[in-house]
Amino acid sequence: MEDIEQAYLESWRLGAKAVSIYRDGSKRTQPLNTSKAGVADTRNASAAVEVREVVREVIKIVETPKRRKLPDERHSITHKFDIAGHEGYITVGLFEDGTPGEIFLVMAKEGSTISGFADAFAQAISYALQYGVPLQALVDKFSHARFEPSGMTKNPEVRFAKSIVDYIFRWMATKFLSSEAQFRAGVNLREEPAAEEKPAAPAPRVTVSAPAPVEAKPAPRPGAYAAMQNQTDAPPCSTCGSIMIRSGSCYKCSNCGTTSGCA
């Protein structure tokens, strides 16, 4: 019994996956044959020569993510949105460095199914931000997610929202990401107004008697008398939100192929 115990301990030290012990002579073929005399000789040899066994302990270090909680008093941004008549509020809580750490979604129709899903989704995103998921990764993942309700908005930077989730993350891109990241997310960047030029000083007036000039008619601009201009009145696509192009007397979306009613 003592030999079996030592065999199990040695197997444990070596990290063997399995150990099988049989009685002597119980198998027709044995991979290893030993005798008590041989074992005694081995023990004597081991006693004569000092054998140092170095057991290496392997410690596996597993890095676990740590949650970065917001302070009890924190700054926040609240934004009201309207997507095809569905109104709601987005509140973003900020860390001390001004980066987003949590979001809250409040829909106008409390108690509805969409309100419950919005609240649960906001909690999941808040935990993701506090555990270190970059906002850029969330914007890339959830922007342009398409489901109802979708439609036109009152936000000039996000004219058309394909879903509430799409609107949330594209709006967050306008607040917390760079201009290049906003462009990749499909945000309508606002154009800065050009600096007003100061009017030049009027030239001195010189009166010269001359015959009355013949009044010249201004040359008409190309397309000035057209009933409708080519792109100035082009509406956004009702399916994907891209600006449509004129196709005959109707409009066609070059992104998804939707037409405004013509075949």
- Taking only the tens place, the pLDDT of each residue in 75-96 is 999 999 998 888 889 999 999 9
The pLDDT of residue 50 is above 50: no
Backbone conformation region of residue 10, classed left if phi is above 0, alpha if psi is from -120 to 50, else beta:
alpha
Say whether pTM exceeds 0.85.
no
With pLDDT > 90 as the criterion, what percentage of the chain qualifies? 22
pLDDT over threshold 80, residue 1: no
Residues 6+ apart with CB under 8 A from 231: 243, 245, 246
Q: What average pLDDT does the segment 13-32 reach?
A: 73
Greatest alpha-carbon pair distance for the chain in Å reads 141
pLDDT reported for residue 79: 93
The C-alpha R_g of the chain, in whole angstroms, comes to 39
Examine the pLDDT at 28 and tell me if it is beyond 80. no
Percentage of residues in the chain having pLDDT higher than 70:
65
Residue 220 has pLDDT above 70, yes or no: no
What is the mean pLDDT of the segment spanning 104-118? 79
How many CB atoms within 10 Å of residue 22?
8
Specify the pLDDT at position 64: 81
| Average pLDDT of span 36-56 | 50
- What whole-number distance in Å separates Cα of residue 150 and Cα of residue 170? 14
Q: Could you tell me the two tokens for 14?
A: 């070596």
Alpha carbons 257 and 251: distance in angstroms, whole number: 10
